[in-house]
Amino acid sequence: MPAPTKILLATDLTARGDRPFARAKMLADIWNADRTLLFVNSPKTEVDIAKVEALLLRNYGADAEGCNLAINYGKPAHVIADTAVQLDSDLIIVGAARHNDISDFFLGTAVDHLLHHAAAPVLIVKERPRANYGRILVATDFSDFSAHALRTALEFFPGAKIELVHAYHVAYEAWLKSDGVADEMLSDAEKELQDFMAGMNLSESDASRVTPHLVEGNLHQSVHNMLDTGDFDLLVLGTHGRGGFVMATIGSRASEMMGWSPVDVLMVRKPA
């Protein structure tokens, strides 16, 4: 998946949307990509286009120039997914403000819909952008989904260092006191990691940017601990679209994980 050339940014036209707007502008400049600002309105009221354009200018200034503007009606998650398909968008960007409106739509069932139906990766912007993403954490379970997520991170952000984390579990450790069991589980995980990286068939330069980590225990907690160090500026997770919102790497706690992540989150769905 090459770097995006078409970015779709969902905005509520308020000043607090400045973080996703600024990130979209930064990425568009780096990638030489087109930006479309999407405003989703309630079907019950008609949008005053002149007022929308005035709000854009007031809140975003000259940085709004050169953007395409799309206005649509309906439920935000549905409209965003549909618009991204219609415009052939390569990346969807949304914000993460703590308000009960479009900025907050990604929490709960709405993100289930967006990630189930949106073919493009979804970037949830939480932090004020100060630089391009330089240190990225990718969670893996050695599935095709996480392989696609890693490859996407490498191609989207060619200057970034990537830490790849996999958690393995020592079964029945409370009952099995033998050190040999833990050693065997670690050995199996190391072999899986080796096979996974070999299967990626990365170029020498890409391979040099990836540092793999094996941790024993819970992946959710391990990712939390790693992000808590403040060393990362993006979390990348692979998803698949079977049966609603299911995460290959995180399972049923994915929405919770996106909620507590202190850094931006890129959700990448593997193409069918």
Residue with tokens 């502008």: 25
pLDDT in tens, 69-125: 898 888 888 899 999 999 999 999 988 755 444 444 444 456 667 777 788 999 989
* Residue-averaged pLDDT of the chain: 82
pLDDT in tens, 136-153: 999 888 888 889 999 999
Task: Residues 6-125: name the CATH superfamily.
Answer: HUPs (3.40.50.620)
Looking at the domain that runs over 135-269, which CATH code has it been given?
3.40.50.620
pLDDT in tens, 204-253: 999 999 999 888 877 788 888 899 998 999 999 887 644 333 444 444 45
pLDDT of res. 170: 67
Q: How many CB atoms lie within 10 A of CB 203?
A: 10
Q: Is the pTM of this model over 0.85?
A: yes
> For residue 106, which of 10, 226, 247 has the smallest C-alpha distance?
10
CA distance 220 to 215: 11
Low-confidence winner among 119-133, 201-215, 253-267 (lowest mean pLDDT): 253-267
CA distance 245 to 191: 30
pLDDT in tens, 26-57: 999 999 999 999 988 878 788 888 888 888 88
**Phi (first) and psi of residue 267, to 5 degrees:** -100, 120
CA distance 131 to 40: 29
Q: How many CB atoms lie within 10 A of CB 153?
A: 26
Sequence spans of domains, the chain: 6-125, 135-269
Kindly tell me if the per-residue pLDDT of 267 is higher than 50. Answer: yes
Rg of the chain over all Cα atoms, to the nearest angstrom: 20
CA distance 52 to 71: 9
Are residues 109 and 26 in contact, defined by beta-carbon separation less than 8 angstroms? no
What would the mean pLDDT of 166-186 be, rounded to a whole number? 69
CA distance 256 to 95: 16
